[in-house]
Amino acid sequence: MTFWDDKQILLTGGAGFLGSYIVEHLRTRGVRNSQLYIPRSRDLDLRTWENCVKAVKGKDIVIHLAAKVGGIGFNQHYPGELFYDNAIMGIQLIEAARQEGVKKCVILGTVCAYPKFTPVPFSEDELWNGYPEGTNAPYGLAKKMLLVQSQAYRQQYGFNSIYLLPVNLYGPRDNFNPESSHVIPALIKKFVEAVREKKPSVDVWGTGSASREFLYVEDAARAIVLATERYNKSEPVNLGAGKEISIRDLVTIIKKQTGFTGEIRWDTSKPDGQPRRCLVTSMAEQEFGFVAQVPFEEGLKRTINWYVKKILMNNLSEKLLI
């Protein structure tokens, strides 16, 4: 017998970027398609209570990944939607899972929940010592309320709910839509297009001084599966690689890996976002044995190669249609 034997699993967001890797990782654990329920938002809108009740019916485990997310620009344009959609989905799903008697609920939070000036590296006990960075606050606070709910439900109902705090993820299959993508796919798209179109320069938001930590998506999927199997406490747990890189250095690496030889133009009228992000990751290792494995530059190379191949395949498809 293994942890996953005969368990019925709801994986919200399972058709998305991170979710697709979790599905693959679960299959290596012996999980069959018949055990997995992956609702699509177009078919089951989790902002509606009745749909949450339907989604958790007969489930043993809920892994809640579904979220409305985006980069700094997206956060600035849609703060109300980001707060409401993320809060209402999570709150209703957790309550429906409790009422249904789900054995375990795994909730994905966000590094955006940390205060703007958290001491670096961020440790889990600093989570409430200040207000989040302004551009991310509505999203970060909506997700943070799910931690409050998780802990309150464990205290009052004995409901086994855990809360994980991943840093920015990246990897193949990421969202490369410039309207809603995060920093790595946005930069890769800009530089690959600049090379293809022989542009003399690339414009990048901010000053380049901010730093970020990034976790390769396959590592993140492995971490979530391990936590589901082994972690059963109320304290939130960081998921990261434990290393930070400045946006300026990130741009330099992507420029080199994509073969761009032109000028970088920094648009300092645009915001940098939170000054620094880097996590203490020791709790994840201690509690469920997770340590990130994929080196950052190797992960970037895989992501760039995937994106370039995708563009080539799309171009070939368009030519065949013509």
Enzyme catalytic residues: 139
Strand duo 263-267 + 214-216: pairing: unpaired
Strand duo 211-212 + 245-246: pairing: antiparallel
Spatial distance between the Cα atoms of 186 and 171, rounded to a whole number of angstroms: 12
Question: Which tokens go with 280?
Answer: 């203490």
Cis peptide before 185 (omega within 30 of 0): no
Going by C-alpha positions, the residue among 14, 300, 295, 22 that lies closest to residue 185 is 300
DSSP conformational letter for 214: E
How many degrees, rounded to 5, is the angle at CA 140 between CA 227 and CA 15?
55
Question: Which tokens go with 130?
Answer: 């200040």
Residue 291 one-letter amino acid: V
Rg (CA), the chain: 20
